[in-house]
């Protein structure tokens, strides 16, 4: 659970492990260049940059820093196994999907996303999860529009679930398309 506390009169929620980092935070952290620590704090707390910039040093050192030890934990992203369940909102869903048994349109949409992507294969991880889960979570018939509409839900999910699951879908696609599966 993210740790809530008050800072500068506002309640702050901060992840205390990689499991609490949302997919959205993860992709913002990938773009973070490591030079501006205030930007890092803005990503993980959701606080405005200017607010963080004006905080007392003692507040940052005493109230924020103790919760950020998780960031130094090395995660071997490509070695993570897909979870058996994934949480969207308050509900956990079975994550054991066999892409070969899914509609062909899902494969085509994922291929199109990879072709159009400027952010590399990893940037398509949330899209892959949205494509393969949108109909399962909503109960609606699968369409491209539904997958696009569902992507924000994926961005709120834990990166520790989304990354290995999306990587699995992408590796499966690449293996079926080119005969090799590397991301």
**Full pLDDT tens readout for the chain, 183 residues:** 466 667 767 788 889 999 999 999 999 999 998 889 999 999 999 889 998 999 889 988 988 888 898 998 999 999 999 999 999 999 999 999 999 999 999 999 999 999 898 878 899 999 999 999 999 999 999 999 999 999 999 999 999 999 999 999 999 998 887 654 445
Determine contact, residues 126/151, Cβ cutoff 8 Å. Answer: yes
Among 46, 49, 31, 34, residue whose Cα is nearest residue 156: 46
Does the reported pTM lie above 0.85?
A: yes
pLDDT at residue number 105: 95
For CA atoms 78, 82, 83, 88, give the dihedral sign: positive
Alpha carbon distance 17, 72 (integer Å): 10
Alpha carbon distance 2, 10 (integer Å): 15
Neighbours of 166 (CB within 10 A): 27
- Cross-strand partners of 3: 14
Please give the structure tokens belonging to residue 144.
Answer: 């491209």
What are the boundaries of each domain within the chain? Answer: 3-72, 77-178
């Amino acid at each position: 659970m993210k740790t809530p506390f008050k800072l500068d009169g506002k309640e702050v929620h901060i992840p205390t492990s990689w499991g609490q980092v949302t997919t959205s935070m993860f992709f913002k952290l990938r773009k973070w260049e490591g030079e501006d620590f205030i930007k890092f704090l803005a990503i993980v707390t959701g606080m405005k940059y200017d607010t963080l910039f004006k905080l007392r040093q003692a507040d940052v050192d005493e109230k924020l820093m103790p919760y950020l030890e998780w960031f130094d934990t090395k995660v071997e992203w490509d070695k993570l196994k897909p979870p058996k369940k994934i949480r969207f909102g308050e509900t956990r869903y079975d994550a054991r999907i066999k892409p070969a048994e899914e509609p062909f349109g899902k494969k085509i949409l994922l291929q199109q996303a990879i072709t159009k992507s400027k952010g590399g294969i990893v940037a398509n991880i949330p899209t892959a999860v949205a494509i393969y889960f949108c109909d399962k979570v909503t109960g609606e018939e699968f369409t491209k529009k539904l997958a696009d509409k569902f992507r924000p839900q994926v961005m709120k999910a834990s990166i520790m679930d989304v990354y290995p699951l999306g990587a699995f879908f992408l590796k499966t696609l690449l293996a079926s398309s080119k005969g090799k599966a590397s991301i």
